[in-house]
Chains A and B, each alone.
Chain A
Amino acid sequence: MYKDHVRRLIDTDKYWGEFSEEKMDELLSIADTKEFADVKNYIENTLGRSDFIFGNARSDFLLYLPLDEESIVLDCGSGLGIHTFNAAKKAGHVHSFDQSLKRAEFTAYRKRAEAAENISIYQSDFKNLDFSENKFDSILMNGVVEWLGEIDSHKNPRDDQLEVLRQMHSYLKPRGVLYIGIENRMSASYLYGYDHNGLKFTSYFPRFLANIITKIKKGKSYRTYTYTYWGYKKLMKDAGFKEEDVTFYIAVPGYNLPKYIIPFDNIQAIRTFLGMMAQKGGVKGKLIKVLSASDFGVKIVRHLFFSYLIYAKK
């Protein structure tokens, strides 16, 4: 029903998302036939994802963007639209696109339900976007850049990432800001967690080794590249951003729910945060206390957090 409200720039229909396609179909069917309150109830009670879709705190990275009523924003890979709607409260207009038609349809439904006139919705991938240069004040790429290698039009996944980042650089107005929320390749959490390919430790490995292991275990290449702080610096520079215009923050627990946003370059700020963590006590607390006692320790520890928020000004 809401397909008509989505500008379709691609005609594929691949679904992925936070919950199964059956659940997504059910959600859209409720949206078609019932009230917005029923949709919210379904999301809250059946999917249990209300804060994930309607919450504010997940979009707190927006606080660090210079948005005002004149701003034009592009939300890339907007999913069910959480950042689109939160940005629309602060900006003049938000253009929002996702490859999945169903997710874009839900965004279109919510746009109508909330009478959010300042949102335009597209079903598109990066290749088929047709925006003009120097159009946007801010571009949002939250949890997107690591997947760009899957576009698979270059041998090296980094080149796929670079191509899109250069495209985004061209879309930005002069002094416009590209925001990226992404994992840190060297995060300590990968000691017990999984990389994007569903395997352990591959993010730490040299790319060629990660590639061999992924091919053996998953039958495909390793293309979900994440980087270290220095790696991202280089990536942004190669995409056309000047080094001094790229600012890093550490997001805790992660970029998907940045409860704490810590300026990466301010040792005192990181030490303050570590101090708060150390107050919780235990072995971890004691270890943090020791590590944060010296500037050197803090400078090491800041490279071990799970994710970064990167703000790159054109």
Chain B
Amino acid sequence: MVEALREIFSKKYNLEKCKLSFLKLYHAGDAPSSKILFFVFYSGKTLGVIKIIRDAEYNASLQHECDAQIKASEEKIMNVSVPKIIDSGFVGKHFFTYETFVFGEAVGKKNALKYIDVIGAYQSSVTKKKKIAISAIHQIFSSVEIKNEKYQSLLQELSNQTEHVFGGTNHSDLTFMNVLVDNKDIYFIDWENYGERAIWGLDFVHYFIRAHDNHSYDILSQHFKTLEIKPMTRDELAILYLVDKLYDFLEKSDTVLYKEVCKKISDIC
């Protein structure tokens, strides 16, 4: 694969083949759908990053990620940066993207809460779409057959809520591992789930919950009492917490049902 990339890059950008080097990076996961990342160097210069899906069967997910990154940077939907897509194409059967080099480190769990204001500011900058009654969301989550006590109790709690939510376009996997800090610049990476969870505010809640070790509602409730969180009220946060949990539960237990629910909710948003 590296030889083929060398060929493509030398022709496309008129570079000397022997001066191109590729550093394979570790990217979490060993599954066929996981990505392989290469830093590309030309002599002493860093050119950019190449992303490829391990198994060409999953090309579509990288293509989706590529579109999302382009959209996110074009629409300026946030006050943070996105690695810019320079080019994309195919190496053999594999789709690849070539994007700007970000020399950052993931925020990590230890520092996750230090960046909560940044995430909050980003969330505030995302446009709120249509107002949706919580009953409509509840109905969609109830329409799938999951015979699990936890799922049912989350549903029950959601049915007790009376507030509404708003439609919104989310990164949909915003965690402390997907936020990179490069000096003072903040980058969001891993956009393959972009748009999947279509309710406004879920990015913030998703990040917030994971920063707390995915702890129970009780821990989050304590924060509801003490924290003044700019992008949303305490009640909104409580509802979004339940919705995020329901999404997570579905995603872990049945990918097909999860995708169906995502689609249905996206349609009404």
Contact = CB atoms under 8 A, between A and B. Distances in A.
Interface of A: 51, 55-57, 60, 63-66, 68, 258-263, 265-269, 272-273, 275-276, 279-280
Closest 6 CB pairs of A and B: A259-B26, A263-B21, A261-B24, A266-B21, A66-B3, A279-B105
Interface residues of B, number: 24
B46 A272 contact: yes
B30 A273 contact: no
Contacts of A267: 44
A27 to B, nearest CB: 21
15 contacts: A51-B30, A55-B30, A63-B24, A260-B23, A261-B22, A261-B23, A261-B24, A266-B21, A266-B23, A266-B41, A269-B41, A272-B23, A272-B41, A275-B103, A276-B103
B36 A268 contact: no
Contacts of A51: 30
Given A272-B39, A279-B105, A64 B21 contact: no
Most buried by A among B2, B92, B103: B2
Nearest to A250: B23
B24 A258 contact: yes
Tell me what chain B mostly uses at the interface: helix, strand, loop, or mixed.
mixed
Contacts of B31: 56
A63 B2 contact: yes
Interface of B: 1-4, 21-26, 30-32, 36, 39, 41, 43-46, 54, 92, 103, 105
A272 B21 contact: no
A88 to B, nearest CB: 14
A309 to B, nearest CB: 10
A60 B24 contact: yes
A272 B41 CA distance: 10
Interface of A is mostly: mixed
Contact of A60 (B36, B39, B43, B44): B36
A262 B26 CA distance: 11
Contact of B103 (A56, A266, A272): A272
Nearest to B105: A279
A63 B1 contact: yes
Contacts of A273: 23
Contacts of A262: 23
B10 to A, nearest CB: 15
Contacts of A60: 24, 36
A258 B30 CA distance: 12
B92 to A, nearest CB: 8
Contact of B24 (A68, A260, A275): A260
A199 B110 CA distance: 39
Contacts of A64: 1-3, 22
A280 B41 CA distance: 23
B36 A63 contact: yes
B241 to A, nearest CB: 32
A55 B34 CA distance: 12
Contacts of A65: 3
B115 to A, nearest CB: 16
Nearest to B104: A279
A64 B44 CA distance: 20
A268 B46 contact: yes
A44 to B, nearest CB: 13
